[in-house]
Amino acid sequence: MKTFDPNLPGAANGNFFALPFTQQEAEIVLVSVPWDVTTSYRAGTHRGPGAIIDASAQIDLFNSRVPQAWNIPIGTIPVHEELPVLNRSARLLAERIIQCWEEGSDPLDNGLEEVLEQVNQACARMNRIVYLQCSEQLRQGKLVGIVGGEHSVPLGHIKALEEHCGPFGILHIAAHADLRQAYEGFTYSHASIMFNVLKTIPSVAALTQVGVRDCCSAENEIIHSDPRISFFPDESLKEDLYEGLTWREQCHRILESLPDQVYLSLDIDGLSPELCPNTGTPVPGGLRFEQVDYLLYLLASSRRRIIGFDLCEVAPSGEDPWDAIVGARLLHKICCYTYSNNNK
């Protein structure tokens, strides 16, 4: 660290934000999960972690709200060797299932039951890998962040947190409710992450959803029948804003629904689509970058403790790094606020 000058250009070294910290030195570790097996519309999120690393080297590491943000010990966990190969093979199988649905037929009526089982087994293996990676880091006292990848990938992390942290709530910022049961037959679909969390992780005492603007009838029933869920859809947030309620007041309402320990799950499509034009399932509307920034700042400044996080669904275009640039800047904000929150 004696030779690291945050005022110099970032030298690409394979680490997030071109930081020099080793895994042993780090207090926050970032786990990349390059996975887009169940992506139902536009694939490409498996390229998200690598693109964010590339874009993050050009970020200035100053944050006016977090003193010496450049010195926050953020470490980078190498991609698990199984994941890229498993993602490629399982994605090819999943595309056969998805194509069947798009053509209006049930894959199980077309002899694809074994194919579907293979995809579900691959996704279960990914979850196990993530769980083991995160459990190891949590045992060492690290704060862990997941960088996806589609939004199915943090399930293993959340399971690991249950064992290490006890009851907690989730602040879920996204365009979609992600409460579908086995969407398209995939048990661990990107559209099913919060359904699986609520079903399989009893320690999740609260789920606060912010910015949702696309859900189906079955999800709507879950939202209004499960007492653990607090729902702040994009439509209501905008209506309140237009009718005079400030964003600060809305943020405090959101935070009041959360318990003392909070896990942050952020799908980039929760933001306005001009900030993530290549994400898998963009939806008009959404939050501005500075709105998310302010909400996270208030969360970090509150009595609550941020116990972990994920940032998912960044899908960079091969020609335009904009999605990755936004993702990298948002990731740095999250890391800064998580660190300051845990060191106050």
10 pLDDT above the threshold of 90:
no
pLDDT tens digits for range 96-148:
999 999 999 999 888 999 999 999 999 999 999 999 999 999 999 999 999 99
- What's the CATH number where 131 sits? 3.40.800.10
CB 205 within 8 A of CB 169: yes
pLDDT at 2: 55
240 part of a folded domain: yes
Phi and psi at residue 48, to the nearest 5°: -60, -55
> How many residues are there in the chain?
344
210 part of a folded domain: yes
Separation of alpha carbons 114 and 111, rounded Å: 8
* Interior/surface letters 133-165, b for 16+ CB within 10 angstroms, e for the rest: bbbebbeeebbbbbbbbbbbbbbbbbbbbbeee
Triad 235, 237, 241: Cα angle to 5°: 115
Separation of alpha carbons 328 and 316, rounded Å: 11
Dihedral (Cα; 46, 51, 52, 55), 10-degree rounding = -170
Nearest CA-CA partner of 225 in 201, 198, 265, 250: 198
5 part of a folded domain: no
Domain count, the chain: 1
SS3 20: coil
pLDDT tens digits for range 236-291:
999 999 999 999 999 999 999 999 999 999 999 999 999 999 998 999 999 999 99
Domain region containing 147: 16-342
2 part of a folded domain: no
CB 120 within 8 A of CB 152: no
pLDDT at 109: 87
H helices, E strands: number in the chain: 10, 8
251 part of a folded domain: yes
183 part of a folded domain: yes
Phi and psi at residue 169, to the nearest 5°: -115, 165
1 part of a folded domain: no
Average pLDDT of the chain is 96
9 part of a folded domain: no
- Residue 183, class by beta-carbon neighbours within 10 Å (0-12 exposed, 13-18 middle, 19+ buried)? buried
In the numeric block, which tokens belong to residue 20? 């020099």
